Every structure is written in structure tokens, then in C-alpha cells.
Amino acid sequence: MAYTAQKPKIAYDTHELRNRIVGWGVDLDPKNRPAVPKEKFNANTGAHWDFPERQVERWPREKSPEHKFLTPVFGTACPPKGLSGAVRRYAYTFSEGRTAHWLLLLGADRLDVIESRLGALLRGRPDNPITETGVLSEFKRHGIRSRIGQHRADIKHQAVDLLLFAATYAAIGSAVYSLGRAVARGARTDR
């Protein structure tokens, strides 16, 4: 037991394991483990440059201030756009160590969703909550049977999802209503 020097007998006999489990102990020797030691110098990574050639920067690419310069290669998916893009660019004035950096990015993500949904609506290809959430798989892939009587811990808080979903739409509805009312009031005052 733990209260004396001897380790308690809490594991199986390793000779028996060797017979029972295919490959047992083949990497017992740390020499066989590829990530040991943690840092292993390798001159043959496939790179044939000391520093990579630079990718062309086609728009002012946002970068972490914790980098000395724009990395020689970078992703070009989804350049920042609109109000969310402005918030993202501002977020990248803060280092990764600052909470503001991450909270601004999370905020920009939510703005991006609103902008993108409105944009899709105006372009005539509105978002479809039924197909995009994949919710129809609930009927094809045993939605009820996958949950009932399964000891699942996540069932307990799924009501929160519905609450948050409803609260989001209630907040948007309330904002639209207040805006509409303010506009109507303004129009009446002008007359």
C-alpha cells in the first residue's frame, strides 16, 4: 500500500500482458520512442533553405505583435472584412498574453456571423438553419435512442443550449424592435 515503501500490487503481471496484448512493451525502451528526447536535432527535415522564401503579401496581413515580422508563409483564407475585420485588426495590436486580444477576437467572430448572415440574405443565398445544423440527422441517426438510457453526462445541460439559443434570438428580436421603434419615432418627430 501507499503507506509503506512497497508499491501496491495494482497492475497486472507483465509476462502475462506480453502474451495477451499484441505489441506489449515493443516501445518500452525509450530509444524506440520517437519523441525522446524532446529536442532532437535533425538536419534532414526536407527543407533546402536556411530561411524560406517569402510568400507575397497581397493585402496587409494581420500578425501577432509577438512575431518580429510577418512569417514567410501564412494562410490566405478569409481576409478580414467589414466591422468584424476592423475589430480583428484592432485585436492584433494586443499581444497574445493580453485577455483583450482573445476577447476582441471572440467578439469579432460573433459580429462576423451576423454580417455574413445578412450578406448571404442580401445575395439571395440565405442561411438555412435546418440543413446547416445537420439537425435532420436526429431522425436518420437515432437521435432519441442515442440519448435515452445511455448514462450521458451531457444530457443534463442540453437545456442550456436551448435557453442560450432562445435568448440570442430574443435579444436580436428585441434590438430590431427597439431600432424600428426609434426610427418610427424619429420619422414622426420630423413631420
Partner 1 sequence: MRAMVYRGPYRVRVEEKEIPSIEHPNDAIVRVTRAAICGSDLHLYHGMMPDTRVGMTFGHEFTGIVEAVGASVQNLQRGDHVLVPFNISCGSCFFCVRELYSNCHNTNANASAVGGIYGYSHTAGGYDGGQGEYVRVPFADVGPSKIPEWMDEEDAVLLTDACPTGYFAAELGEIKEGDVVVVFGAGPVGLFSAKSSWLMGAGRVIVIDHLDYRLEMAKRFAQAETINFTEHDDIVMHLKKITDFLGADVCIDAVGCEADGSFFQVLTSSKLKLQGGSPVALNWAIDSVRKAGNVVAIGGYGPLFSAVKFGDAMNKGLTIRTNQCSVKRHWPRLFEHVKNGVLKPSEIVTHRIPLEEIAEGYHIMSSKLDHCVKPLVLPQAA
We find the least distance from the C-beta atom of residue 76 to partner 1, in angstroms, to be 6
Subset of 20-79 contacting partner 1 (CB under 8 A)? 20-28, 30, 32-36, 38-43, 45-53, 55-56, 61-64, 66-67, 70-78
- Residue 80 contacts by C-beta under 8 Å, 6 or more apart in sequence? 62, 86, 88, 89
Q: Which stretch binds partner 1 (CB under 8 A): 105-113, 170-178, 179-187?
A: 105-113
Backbone torsion region of residue 149, taken as left when φ is above 0, otherwise alpha when ψ lies between -120 and 50, otherwise beta: left
Taking CB under 8 A as the criterion, the residue among 164, 171, 172, 175 binding partner 1 is: 164
Taking CB under 8 A as the criterion, the residue among 93, 146, 174, 178 binding partner 1 is: 146
Based on the shown chain and the rule CB under 8 A, indicate whether residue 140 belongs to the binding site for partner 1.
yes
Instruction: Count the site residues for partner 1 by CB under 8 A.
Output: 101
We find the least distance from the C-beta atom of residue 177 to partner 1, in angstroms, to be 22
Taking CB under 8 A as the criterion, the residue among 59, 124, 151, 162 binding partner 1 is: 151
DSSP one-letter code for 94: S
Cell 510568400 sits on residue = 55
Distances (CA, A) of 149 to 66, 144, 145: 50, 10, 8
Half-sphere exposure of 176 (CA within 13 A, CB side): 7
We find the least distance from the C-beta atom of residue 171 to partner 1, in angstroms, to be 14
Rounded (10°) CA dihedral 20, 25, 26, 32:
170
Taking CB under 8 A as the criterion, the residue among 60, 86, 93, 109 binding partner 1 is: 109
C-alpha cell at 81: 472584412
